[in-house]
C-alpha cells in the first residue's frame, strides 16, 4: 500500500511538472518579446488547461474501472 501511494504521488508530481512546462513553453516567447502579462496569462491558461484535461481523464478512467 505504501508503494502504491508513493507511485501515485510521483505520478501527480510528473503531471504537474508536464503541465507547467507546457504552459511555460507557450508563455515564454511572449514574455521574451516584452509582453509579460499576456505571456503569463497564456502560460497559465495552457498549463491549467492541460492539467485540467489530465485530471479529468484520470478521474474518468478510475470511474470506468470501478475504483
CA distance 38 to 35: 6
Q: Which residues does 16 contact at the CB level (< 8 Å), separation at least 6?
A: 51
Query: pLDDT tens track of the chain, all 67 residues?
Result: 889 899 989 999 998 999 899 999 999 998 899 999 999 999 999 999 999 999 999 899 989 988 6
Domain carrying residue 31:
2-65
Q: Are 20 and 37 in contact (CB under 8 A)?
A: no
**Confidence (pLDDT) at 60:** 93
Tell me the three cell numbers of residue 60: 474518468
DSSP-derived secondary structure letter, 1: -
User: What's the domain count of the chain?
Assistant: 1
Global confidence as pTM: 0.75
Amino acid at each position: 500500500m505504501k508503494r502504491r501511494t508513493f507511485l501515485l504521488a510521483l505520478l501527480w508530481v510528473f503531471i504537474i511538472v508536464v503541465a507547467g512546462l507546457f504552459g511555460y513553453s507557450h508563455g515564454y516567447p511572449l514574455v521574451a518579446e516584452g509582453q509579460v502579462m499576456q505571456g503569463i496569462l497564456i502560460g497559465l491558461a495552457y498549463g491549467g488547461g492541460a492539467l485540467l484535461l489530465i485530471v479529468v481523464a484520470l478521474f474518468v478512467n478510475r470511474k470506468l474501472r470501478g475504483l
